[in-house]
Structure 1
Amino acid sequence: MALLPILSGKEIIQALERLGYYIVRQRGSHIRLHHPSKKPVTIPNYKSIDRSLLRKILRDIQLDDEEFLKLL
């Protein structure tokens, strides 16, 4: 298990867009992304997102740490 960096919401969204996710809507500081064949995911648009929350997001979309780090 790789050590995940502390990233901003914008950086996480850009990485997920490379994976095929696209922005559907935004409400306040939370951005909803959809994928044609995977579960939708909500990303908070914060300046820094803690590693534990990032790991939870990756678990929800069934993506392991190494695959995500390659997208950065």
Structure 2
Amino acid sequence: MAKLPVISGREAGKAFAKLNFVYDHHRGSHMIYYHPSGRHLSIPDHNELDRGTLRKLI
């Protein structure tokens, strides 16, 4: 398995938006996205996401 790149939370949000996730709101340091199928994501708004966090989001 290839290593995941180190990206920011905002970059991750843009990538999930391309997968039909819609930005809902910001709560503290997390951005909340939802998918029309009902799935929700809470993406930390950090300069660098830990690779483990990114893996769990995927």
TM-score scaled by structure 2?
0.92
What is the distance in 2 between the residues matched to 1:45 and 1:21? 16
Q: Which runs of 5+ in 2 are unaligned?
A: none
More strand by share: 2
Q: How does 1:18-57 map to 2 (within 5 A)?
A: 18-57=18-57
Displaced runs of 4+ in structure 1, greater than 3 A? Answer: none
**In the aligned structure 2, how far is the partner of 1:52 from the partner of 1:38?**
24
Distance in 2, Cα, partners of 1:17 & 1:38: 14
Identity within the alignment, %: 40
* Paired residue total: 58
CA RMSD of aligned residues (A): 0.9
Structure (1/2) with the larger helix percentage: 1
